[in-house]
């Protein structure tokens, strides 16, 4: 199974949101990393046929998804960044409606709805109107609807936004448990979401693909650029002005800073093993970073 | 597809606003109809009217009327009961029917004269008109107030009620998916494009048929209560709004054709509303644009009626009358197709308006349907 993005661009009126992006996806989880406005949603919408590329094409197993049409939409599952709901539908009815859109026959749909409500832990709220759901519950029902048709290609746009830490962990485990035999593409600007489950990480900045690699290889690229240093509290602003500063921790003997820099930022600094957060910081500006 | 259709039906029919508006309209209309009928000095009671007519019904003849009139006048000199009043008005009405016969006879002989000098298309259409008029037989009279009122319902109220309910019920059918964000899930799902459009169109057709069906029952109920159900076989021309009609139809035939065409035009309007809804991202835009299309012809003809001079001049300039005639609003009344002789020149042969206009309408609606599929198929979530 292969999903191939080939020289894809998307131009909105006066904005080039995605610029000549190419990559291939096969079975496994892919982390799609980029700051707000980088073009993640736009690219994902093209992958689920909600937008047509201005140029380039997207191939599923060698065939243009525009030509495959229904056949392609039959194998995808999509969770949008902001999920759509009918407020006065109960969870059950909502899922049955999506199932009818996906062309799943009634008996099978009912079984699948039961099963997925269980998976996302909403069984006891199945008769409640989704308009009354909390943010986290909406996100969970969103995940359930994406999985109704056992999609071969699962595309989830910032699925963990609005989830509390416990729910995030649950979600991460769920994704990695279903990722076998599927292509899963998950966008986020939260590094820890994908740190341990992504087979590859795709980094996108201002509509352009800058890296696509295994997490280890990506980390390898910045292995001598991460430093830690313990400084006096009043030195902190100076460092923040001069370098990309990540974690700041108060310690007994001062303040510990994690710094991304090409060269040793200070005589006291020592090299540290890079993690994805450092990677993110390396590519994106600090204010965009959310831990 | 069946499940999808069921959900679309549910989404449309569970809109409480539509049910409430529908119920309110019918309630207000009933109150007004009943009040104005019972307070009218021309309503003598259903039974009274039917039995009064019984005395004048049958073959029309001048002598018979003169005799009846004299007898009536001498009788009512002393007193006039409700029955007498009903009888008097039945007499007057039948006498005017007698004048109608003269009108038709005159018309036919005038056409015969014109035929001697006419050529080509003109000749063909006069000939057609003559042949049609000769089919009409107005020589008998029967009480037909009930069917007549039921027929008038569509062109007086029905078209507007159907139109308003279509606007309220269907104008957000597509735009609401954008508003709720459901479009993202719908358009990326297997059946969310072509099949969904089909489901929505079927839903719209079902909706239109239901609201027309309910009105049909209502219409039949209230007017058979007030005037009874007799007279369906009377010629169309006996109804005052069709005095000049060249069509040889009885009231039942016309009523059936009217209901079918009203349904057809209403479905056409519904498809138009769907198309607009699909092009709008916002429920308000959708309902406003469709409402303007529906209401503008009424406004324009109102201005025309009250002779607002500058409006009239502009209206003349852009041939507003023609546009109004072929608007959804006026076509949904149906009567305009049948109340006078109208032909179109189709390669030098005359085609009746009642055939040509619905045909063109169907073709236009098919085009809009195609456009709806086409635009929805390529719709992007922006
Ligand atoms: N419909 C649109 N019209 C114009 N510009 C858009 C539209 N959608 C997105 N953009 C722009 O395209 C860029 C990418 O947006 P998006 O794909 O939503 O980024 P992300 O999901 O990574 O935050 C942004 O600059 C955004 O403002
Ligand atoms: Mg986004």
What CATH number is given to the structural domain containing A179?
A: 3.40.50.300
pLDDT range class, residue B78, cuts 50, 70, 90: low
Two structure tokens written together for A61: 């197993």
A280 burial (CB, 10 Å; 0-12 / 13-18 / 19+) is: buried
In chain A, DSSP assigns E strands to 3-12, 15-25, 28-33, 55-60, 63-64, 76-79, 153-157, 183-188, 200-205, 208-213, 226-231, 244-251, 254-260, 270-271
**Range of A195-204, A271-280, B335-344 with top mean pLDDT:** B335-344
The reported pLDDT for the residue numbered B312 is 60
Q: Compute the average pLDDT of residues B55-61.
A: 78
Q: What pLDDT score was predicted for residue A287?
A: 46
Q: Is A247 found in the same domain as A117? A: no
pLDDT at A25 over 60: yes
How far does A72 lie from chain B, in Å, by closest CA?
A: 8
Q: What is the pLDDT of residue B52?
A: 80
- Confirm or reject contact between A86 and chain B (CB < 8 A): yes
Q: What is the DSSP string of A213-282?
A: E-HHHHHHHTTTSEEEEEE-GGGHHHHHHHSEEEEEEEETTEEEEEEE-SS-SSTT-EE----HHHHHHH
A83 contacts chain B (CB < 8 A): yes
Q: Which residues pair with A270 in a beta bridge?
A: A228
What pLDDT score was predicted for residue B310?
63
Q: CB A51 to CB B380 under 8 A? A: yes
Distance, in Å, from the CA atom of B328 to the CA atom of A215, rounded to the nearest integer, reads 63
Residues A71 and A164 both lie in one domain: yes
* Confidence bin at A36 (pLDDT 50/70/90): confident
- CB–CB of A89/B196 below 8 Å? no
The average pLDDT across B235-249 equals: 91
Do A146 and A245 fall within a single domain?
no
| Mean of the per-residue pLDDT values of chain B | 90
CB A58 within 8 A of CB A3: yes
Taking the Cβ of residue B70 and every Cβ of chain A, the question of whether any pair is shorter than 8 Å is answered with no
What b/e sequence results for B124-143 when a residue is b if at least 16 CB atoms lie within 10 Å of its CB, and e otherwise? bbbebbbeebeebebeebbb
**Range from A239-253, B85-99, B280-294, B365-379 carrying the lowest mean pLDDT:** B85-99
In chain A, which residues have their Cβ closer than 8 Å to the Cβ of B179? Answer: none
Say if B60 falls within a structural domain. Answer: no
B65 belongs to a structural domain: no
> Which mutation among A36, A37, A203 tests ligand 1's pocket best, with the greatest number of atoms within 8 A of CB?
A37
**Which amino acid residue places its CA nearest to atom 14 of ligand 1?**
A39
For residue B143, the 8-state DSSP code is -
- Let me know if residue A180 belongs to a domain: yes
A221 and chain B in contact, CB less than 8 A: no
CB atoms A86 and B181 under 8 Å: no
The torsion angles phi and psi of A45, rounded to 5 degrees, stand at -65, -35
Q: Categorize the per-residue pLDDT at B316 as very low, low, confident or very high, splitting at 50, 70 and 90.
A: low
A241-268 residues labelled b (16+ CB within 10 A) or e (exposed): eebbbbeeeeeeebbebbbbbeeebbee
Tell me the mean pLDDT in the region A143-167.
Answer: 89
- Lowest average pLDDT, out of A175-184, B2-11, B114-123, goes to A175-184
* Token pair for B164: 């308003």
- Measured distance CA(A110)–CA(A112) in Å, rounded: 5
The confidence score (pLDDT) of residue A168 equals 82
Do A8 and A147 belong together in one domain?
Answer: yes
A109 touches chain B (CB under 8 A): yes
A105-119, A234-248, B110-124: lowest mean pLDDT where?
A234-248
Residue A247 lies in a domain: yes
CA closest to B9 among chain A residues: A97
Backbone phi and psi for residue B23, each to the nearest 5 degrees, phi listed first: -60, -45
Weakest mean pLDDT among A249-258, A277-286, B210-219: A277-286
The boundaries of the domain holding residue B331 are 2-41+141-377
* Residue B214, domain member (yes or no): yes
Predicted pLDDT at B158: 96
DSSP sequence for B302-324: HHHHTT-HHHHHHHHHTTHHHHH
Domain range holding A239? 224-272
Angle at B318 between CA B366 and CA B246, to 5 degrees: 65
- Per-residue model confidence (pLDDT) at position A189: 73
| Rounded Cα–Cα distance for residues A282 and A223 (Å) | 11
Closest Cα to residue B48, out of B223, B240, B228? B228
In chain B, % of residues over pLDDT 70: 94
| A124-143 per-position pLDDT tens digit | 999 999 999 988 899 889 99
Cross-chain CB nearest to A73 (options B184, B190, B382): B190
Burial class, B148, CB count within 10 angstroms (exposed 0-12 / middle 13-18 / buried 19+): buried
Query: Are A251 and A124 in a shared domain?
Result: no
Predicted TM-score of the model (pTM): 0.90
pLDDT > 50? residue A289: no
Residue at A281 is within a domain: no
Q: Among candidates B201, B203, B214, which has minimal Cα distance to B162?
A: B214
Greatest mean pLDDT among A239-248, B1-10, B133-142, B205-214 lies in B205-214
Output B45 or B207, whichever has higher pLDDT: B207
Mean pLDDT of A283-290: 56
Residue A290 has pLDDT above 60, yes or no: no
Same domain, A37 and A132: yes
Instruction: For residues A185 and A32, give the distance between their C-alpha atoms in angstroms, rounded to a whole number.
Output: 7
The reply to whether B177 falls in a domain is: yes
pLDDT per position as a tens digit, B261-274: 999 999 999 999 99
Q: How far apart are CA A183 and CA A151, in angstroms?
A: 9
> Does A254 lie in the same domain as A212?
no
- Is A278 within a domain? no
Which residue's CA is minimally distant from atom 26 of ligand 1? Answer: A37
Contact A219, A274 (CB under 8 A): yes
Separation CA B93–CA B91 (nearest Å): 5
Contact yes or no for A35/A207 (Cβ under 8 A) = no
Assess whether pLDDT exceeds 50 at residue B303: yes
Most confident of A185-199, B96-110, B285-299: B285-299
Give every strand in the sheet of A200-205, ordered side by side: A76-79, A153-157, A183-188, A28-33, A200-205, A208-213
Q: Quote the crossing angle between the two packed helices B82-117 and B120-135, to the nearest 10°.
A: 150
Q: For residue A263, is it within any domain?
A: yes
pLDDT for position B252: 96
Report the largest interatomic distance among the alpha carbons of chain A, rounded to a whole angstrom: 69
pLDDT at A53: 97
Is residue B70, in this structure, part of any structural domain at all?
A: no
**Are A249 and A213 members of one domain?**
no
Q: Which residue has the tokens 């400084």?
A: A231
* Structure confidence at residue B77 as a pLDDT band (50, 70, 90): low
Q: Are residues A149 and A253 in the same domain?
A: no
Ligand number nearest CA of A40 is 1
Q: State residue B63's pLDDT score.
A: 76
- Count up the domains in chain B and report the number: 1
In the predicted structure, residue A191 carries a pLDDT above the cut 90 = no
What residue of A is the nearest CA neighbor of B381? A50
Query: What separation in angstroms does the CA of A243 have from each of A99, A204, B193?
Result: 51, 22, 51
In-domain check, residue A229? yes
CA distance B362 to chain A (A): 30
pLDDT top residue among B302 and B196: B196
Q: How high is the pLDDT of residue B307?
A: 61
Task: Phi first, then psi: give them for residue B220, nearest 5 degrees.
Answer: -65, -45
Is the residue at A286 inside a domain?
no
Does any CB of chain B come closer than 8 Å to the CB of residue A156?
A: no
Percent of chain A with pLDDT over 90: 54
CA of A157 to the centre of ligand 2 (A): 7
Q: What mean pLDDT is predicted for residues A84-96?
A: 95
Give contacts of B6 with chain A, Cβ < 8 Å.
100
What is the average per-residue pLDDT within B28-34?
A: 94
Task: Compute the count of residue pairs across chains A and B with CB atoms less than 8 Å apart.
Answer: 83
Residues B248, B136 contacting (CB under 8 angstroms): yes
Kindly state the average pLDDT of the residues A79-91. Answer: 94
Percentage of residues in chain A having pLDDT higher than 70: 98
Q: How confident is the model at residue B174 (pLDDT cuts 50, 70, 90)?
A: very high
Domain shared by A130 and A55, yes or no: yes
pLDDT score of A234 more than 80: yes
Cβ distance of A84 and B187 shorter than 8 Å? no
Q: How many domains does chain A have?
A: 2
A291: pLDDT confidence band, cut at 50, 70 and 90? Answer: very low
Q: What is the mean pLDDT of residues A5-33?
A: 94
Are A29 and A202 a contacting pair, CB within 8 Å? Answer: no
Indicate whether A180 and A44 sit together in one domain.
yes
d(C-alpha B170, C-alpha B211), whole Å: 12
Does residue B83 lie in a domain region?
A: no
Tell me, yes or no, whether B71 lies in a domain: no
Domain presence at residue B194: yes
pLDDT top residue among A9 and B45: A9
| Average pLDDT of the residues in B64-81 | 72
Is the same domain home to A247 and A204? no
Average pLDDT of the residues in B41-57: 81
Ligand found nearest the CA of A39? 1
């Amino acid at each position: 199974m292969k999903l191939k993005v080939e020289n894809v661009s998307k131009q909105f009126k006066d904005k080039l949101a995605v610029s000549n992006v190419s990559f291939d996806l096969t079975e496994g989880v892919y982390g799609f990393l980029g700051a707000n406005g980088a073009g993640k949603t736009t690219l994902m919408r093209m992958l689920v046929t909600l937008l047509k590329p201005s140029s380039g094409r997207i191939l599923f197993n060698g065939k243009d998804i525009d030509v495959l049409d229904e056949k392609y939409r039959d194998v995808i599952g999509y969770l949008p960044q902001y999920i759509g709901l009918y407020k006065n539908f109960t969870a059950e009815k909502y899922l049955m409606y999506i199932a009818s859109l996906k062309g799943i026959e009634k008996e099978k749909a009912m079984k699948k709805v039961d099963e997925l409500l269980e998976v996302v832990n909403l069984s006891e709220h199945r008769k409640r109107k989704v308009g009354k759901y909390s943010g986290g519950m909406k996100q969970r029902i969103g995940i359930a609807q994406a999985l109704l048709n056992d999609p071969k290609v699962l595309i989830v746009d910032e699925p963990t936004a609005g989830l509390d830490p416990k729910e995030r962990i649950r979600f991460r485990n769920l994704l990695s448990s279903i990722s076998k035999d599927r292509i899963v593409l998950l966008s986020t600007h939260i590094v820890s979401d994908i740190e341990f489950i992504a087979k590859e990480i795709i980094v996108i900045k201002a509509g352009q693909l800058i890296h696509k690699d295994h997490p280890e290889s990506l980390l390898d690229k910045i292995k001598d650029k991460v430093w830690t240093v313990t400084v006096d509290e009043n030195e902190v602003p100076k460092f923040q002005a001069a370098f990309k500063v990540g974690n700041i921790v108060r310690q007994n003997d001062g303040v510990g800073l994690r710094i991304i820099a090409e060269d040793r930022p200070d005589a006291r600094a020592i090299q540290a093993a890079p993690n994805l957060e450092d990677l993110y910081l390396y590519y994106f500006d600090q204010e965009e970073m959310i831990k | 597809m069946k499940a999808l259709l069921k959900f679309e039906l549910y989404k449309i029919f569970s809109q409480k606003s539509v049910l409430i508006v529908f119920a309110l309209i019918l309630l207000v209309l009933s109150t007004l109809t009943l009040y104005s009928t019972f307070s009218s000095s021309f309503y003598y009671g259903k039974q009274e009217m039917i039995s009064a007519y019984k005395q004048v019904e049958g073959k029309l003849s001048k002598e018979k009327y003169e005799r009846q009139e004299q007898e009536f006048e001498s009788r009512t000199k002393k007193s006039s009961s409700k029955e007498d009043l009903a009888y008097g008005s039945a007499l007057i009405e039948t006498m005017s029917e007698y004048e109608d016969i003269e009108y038709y006879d005159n018309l036919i002989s005038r056409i015969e004269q014109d035929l001697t000098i006419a050529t080509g298309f003109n000749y063909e259409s006069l000939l057609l008109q003559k042949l049609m008029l000769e089919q009409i037989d107005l020589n008998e009279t029967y009480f037909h107030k009930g069917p007549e009122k039921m027929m008038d319902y569509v062109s007086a109220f029905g078209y507007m009620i159907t139109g308003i309910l279509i606007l309220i019920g269907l104008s957000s059918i597509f735009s609401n998916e954008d508003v709720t964000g459901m479009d993202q899930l719908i358009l990326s799902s297997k059946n969310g494009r072509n099949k969904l459009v089909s489901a929505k169109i079927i839903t719209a057709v079902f909706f239109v048929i239901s609201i027309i069906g309910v009105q049909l029952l209502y219409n039949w109920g209230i007017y058979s209560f007030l005037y009874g159900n007799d007279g369906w076989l009377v010629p169309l021309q006996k109804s005052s709004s069709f005095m000049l009609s060249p069509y040889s139809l009885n009231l039942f035939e016309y009523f059936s054709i009217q209901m079918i065409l009203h349904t057809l035009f209403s479905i056409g309007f519904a498809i138009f509303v769907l198309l607009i809804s699909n092009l709008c991202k916002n429920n308000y835009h959708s309902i406003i644009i469709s409402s303007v299309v529906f209401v503008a012809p009424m406004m324009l003809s109102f201005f025309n009626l009250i002779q607002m001079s500058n409006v009239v001049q502009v209206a003349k300039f852009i041939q507003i009358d023609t546009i109004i005639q072929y608007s959804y609003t006026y076509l949904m009344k149906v009567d305009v197709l049948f109340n006078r002789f109208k032909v179109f020149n189709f390669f030098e042969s005359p085609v009746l308006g009642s055939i040509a206009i619905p045909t063109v309408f169907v073709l236009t609606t098919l085009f809009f349907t195609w456009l709806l599929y086409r635009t929805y198929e390529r719709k992007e979530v922006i």
